[in-house]
Structure 1
Amino acid sequence: MIRWRKGEVVRIRREWPGAMELEVAVSEGTGPPGSCRALAYPPLVGRPEPGDEVLLNTTALAMGLGTGGYAMVVAVPNRLPEDPDGPGHLVKARYTPLQATVLGADEQDSPFHEALREADSVDGMPVVVADLHSALPPILCGLYDSAPDARVAYVMLDGGALPAWFSMACARLREVGWLAGVVTVGQAFGGDVEAVTTHTGLLAARHVLEADVAIVAQGPGNLGTGTRWGFSGVSAGEAVNAAAVLLGRPVAALRVSEGDLRERHLGVSHHSLTAYGRVALSRARVPVPLLPGEFGERVRDQAELLAVRHELVPVPVDGLHEALRASPVRLSTMGRGLEEDLAYFLASAAAGRDAAWLLS
């Protein structure tokens, strides 16, 4: 289940808040020796330095995972970090070798516990829900194009990467002020705010980070099996329900692709049709991008399948291409950039534009 290796840090390739990318010379294990890219999370394992021996989990590297093709640093055994101090009794990644304690915004020792203890509403806050983490930047592009002064929080679900530190996009979006903060919920951890559930995560986005808009999506990397129900994006439908029960205004971003050659994802992905059409029991706004030509007609026809349960909102895409080009982070989904799958990014940006309309 785990491929274990030992290695020595050769150099630090780059780093961003919460994460370090290393070059490691692999010295022990069942495979041939060599070097590899490795990722370390200093808040968990301490800060590796060149010359340090490290213990690696090379499973994702061996599987060739597109999003997570790193060896993961499990420990720096000869230089262990200090024990954590301070409050926090929420355990995340529970009962795994790297379970970690964090201070949850909703737990009793939190300074926000009193504010969240009886909190039951996000006060009509627009909540944009998306299937993939890659939708986060284009949603923000569309939102800020129409509402440049909005305050936005990202609520990260645990269907993909668990550590928020893995996302270079989140680090950069916080740096440029496009995110007021990241809330990690469920088993996800490492956000500016920790919460137990999607519900308390949304409440924390509103009452702790004082967000005008929340965007909910899983972390980088999603799991799919090619079956109707076996994909981690099912949680998008559950997030619509959470937003509605907390008196938010759910905005369901469609996953649309013209560049994905798999029939189940061409046009409106079956992920969106299942998550919003079957899992989401509460009514949401579904922004439908007014894309040109036959492909645009296909998207509109597929979106009509959601009209029984949801409100379809036609959204013009004029000006959104330019807004996407101005993104402060690189836009990429499933290995495709902006021009390789423009429809995907326009559909996400259209959801951001619709959320901005709700603020006006």
Structure 2
Amino acid sequence: MKLRYTPLQFKCLAAEEQDSKYHDKFNSFKSLDNSIYIVGTLHSMLAPIASVIKWLRPELKITYIMTDAGALSLHFSKTVKRLKNEKIIENTITIGHAFGGDLECVNIYTGIIAAKTIANSDVTIIAMGPGIVGTGTKYGFSGIEQGYIIDAVNKLGGLSFAVPRISFADERERHKGISHHTLTILNDIVSTKTNLALPVLNDEYADFINNQIKSNDLDKKHNIFFENGSEVIDALNYYGLDVKTMGRSYYDDEAFFHTLGAVAKVAINFLDSAQ
């Protein structure tokens, strides 16, 4: 059941149910075997990351897991429809009360298991649907789910990559450089070590971010990688994707988009080194 005990409650067959042809895959599951899971906090992170991966490695199979921290209907996302039509992502999984994916799963654990054992994904990108909730408080935002999703991936034997929210165009001081959302998650919420990809930026921005890293001891808590993510605009243009985040385009907020390009390239580097 999705939207349980509301007037809109409806039945759907979860992949892990006994009536599902995939039921036994969950009982026989042992490990994610270092499969790659990229965990974001905004829906606008999905298309740039996926497009860079597919542009650089068209043979890779990408799955998108949509959580229920934003919009609940996958079909509300024009981005997902476009990514599927362009064959940038192959499969979608909706978990919790989110619905409309190629596969439905009860929770994030079975969702990430399904990405490996059913979708046979090379890279899985996890993020909410459109519409993050924020309150201007330390813990009051729905993107806080990134922390326990990272832990879920790590505990099941996967390789997690945290997507940092970075901007120098957002007028809100709490989101300058590495957003307070990301800092809260990496400092106070996540309980396991993750891989954190950061973009190569100009000296002023780099100094600001490096100060944030040092003052929060992020380099002691997580694995940090710097990568040039500027090719993200080439990938977006190649697929004809016009992506905005908080109403800002690539040219309005290059640091945000370069971060996503960096994450994609670091994930690819891990895949290449494993082969």
TM range (shorter): over 0.9
Alpha-carbon distance in structure 2 between the residues aligned to 1:99 and 1:280: 32
Structure 2 contact 52–231 (Cα < 8 Å) conserved: no
Matched, 1:207 2:142: no
What's 2:45 paired with? Answer: 135
Residue number among 196, 204, 214 corresponding to 1:286 in the alignment:
196
| Cα deviations by residue, 1:293-351 (Å, 9 ceiling, x for unpaired) | 30122123323432221101111234333223334432111111111111111101211
Alpha-carbon distance in structure 2 between the residues aligned to 1:230 and 1:330: 30
Amino acid at match of 1:255: R
What's 1:3 paired with? Answer: none
What's 1:37 paired with? Answer: none
Amino acid at match of 2:256: Y
What's 1:355 paired with? Answer: 267
SS of match in other structure, 1:332 = coil
Matched, 1:331 2:275: no
Alpha-carbon distance in structure 2 between the residues aligned to 1:146 and 1:283: 27
What's 1:340 paired with? Answer: 252
CA change 1:238–1:132 in 2 (3 A) is same
Alpha-carbon distance in structure 2 between the residues aligned to 1:178 and 1:145: 9
SS of match in other structure, 1:273 = helix
| Cα deviations by residue, 1:83-123 (Å, 9 ceiling, x for unpaired) | xxxxxxxx011111111111101111111001112313222
Amino acid at match of 1:92: K
Higher strand fraction: Structure 1 or Structure 2?
1
Residue number among 169, 178, 182 corresponding to 1:272 in the alignment:
182
Structure 2 contact 232–260 (Cα < 8 Å) conserved: no
TM-score (norm 2): 0.94
Alpha-carbon distance in structure 2 between the residues aligned to 1:252 and 1:95: 34
RMSD over aligned CA atoms reads: 1.3
Higher helix fraction: Structure 1 or Structure 2?
2
What's 1:126 paired with? Answer: 36
Alpha-carbon distance in structure 2 between the residues aligned to 1:185 and 1:249: 20
SS of match in other structure, 2:15 = coil
Alpha-carbon distance in structure 1 between the residues aligned to 2:132 and 2:186: 17
Structure 1 contact 252–287 (Cα < 8 Å) conserved: yes
**Structure with the larger RCO, 1 or 2 (CA within 8 Å, 6+ apart):** 2
Residue number among 77, 99, 105 corresponding to 1:195 in the alignment:
105
Matched, 1:241 2:112: no
Alpha-carbon distance in structure 2 between the residues aligned to 1:323 and 1:314: 19
What are the residue-to-residue correspondences of 1:38-117 with 2, within 5 Å? 91-117=1-27
Quote the offset at 1:266 in angstroms: 1.0
Amino acid at match of 1:257: S
Amino acid at match of 1:174: K
What are the residue-to-residue correspondences of 1:135-154 with 2, within 5 Å? 135-154=45-64
Alpha-carbon distance in structure 1 between the residues aligned to 2:80 and 2:154: 25
Alpha-carbon distance in structure 2 between the residues aligned to 1:156 and 1:328: 23
Quote the offset at 1:252 in angstroms: 0.7
Structure 2 contact 229–265 (Cα < 8 Å) conserved: no
What's 2:166 paired with? Answer: 256
Structure 1 contact 324–345 (Cα < 8 Å) conserved: no
Structure 1 contact 138–327 (Cα < 8 Å) conserved: no
What are the residue-to-residue correspondences of 1:10-29 with 2, within 5 Å? none
Task: Kindly name which structure, 1 or 2, has the bigger radius of gyration based on alpha carbons.
Answer: 1
Amino acid at match of 1:241: D
Alpha-carbon distance in structure 2 between the residues aligned to 1:92 and 1:278: 31
Quote the offset at 1:269 in angstroms: 0.5
Report % sequence identity: 36
Amino acid at match of 2:199: P
Structure 2 contact 44–243 (Cα < 8 Å) conserved: yes
Alpha-carbon distance in structure 2 between the residues aligned to 1:144 and 1:353: 11
| Cα deviations by residue, 1:184-228 (Å, 9 ceiling, x for unpaired) | 011111111000111100011111111001101111101000000
What is the aligned residue count?
Answer: 270
- Segments ≥4 residues shifted beyond 4 Å: none
Matched, 1:227 2:137: yes
SS of match in other structure, 1:139 = helix
| Cα deviations by residue, 1:43-62 (Å, 9 ceiling, x for unpaired) | xxxxxxxxxxxxxxxxxxxx
